[in-house]
Amino acid sequence: MICCYCGTENLGDKSCSFCEAPLDHGRPKRKNFVYLEQCEQPFSQLKLFHTYDLLLLLRLVRKERSDAFNQMRLIKKGAQEAQMDQETISFAEEQYLYYTKRAKVLEGILIDRMGYKPKTINDKLLINIDQKIKEYEKKA
């Protein structure tokens, strides 16, 4: 088996004889499509996502978090003017806290990989990373 990190030929070991990298798993592959519900996967599954896919997913989660915050703000403002039940207010707060925690998980994985979490994830950043990945794939 050939190590995907250093390229050393190995004879059936569980780790590379040169760099000791595990031989039973490869590098993460990019997905064709990333959707919001994927953020609900456990950490052990999320850490297997390609960094580009994590950025896309974090962008979706941040958008949902922002929408939940705006909804929570409107509900709280409306609760003062009209009679709102506590269940509606609690649901809006739970949604905001849920997506805040999901964003922190994704940001933590990105910090481990990149050394920082991007402040904003816009099209320019994603296009730039996508181009670099495609250039690397052409060389490899």
- The 10s digit of each residue's pLDDT in 55-109 is 999 999 999 999 999 988 888 777 666 666 778 778 889 999 999 999 999 999 9
pTM: 0.85
* Distance in Å from the first CA to the final CA of the chain: 18
Q: Residue 132: pLDDT above 90?
A: yes
- For residue 84, give the nearest of 76, 94, 93 by alpha carbon: 76
Query: d(Cα 132, Cα 30) in Å, to the nearest integer?
Result: 13
Percent of the chain with pLDDT over 90: 60
Q: How far apart are CA 106 and CA 118, in angstroms?
A: 11
Q: Give the pLDDT of residue 83.
A: 65
- Asked whether the predicted pLDDT for residue 42 surpasses 90, the reply is yes
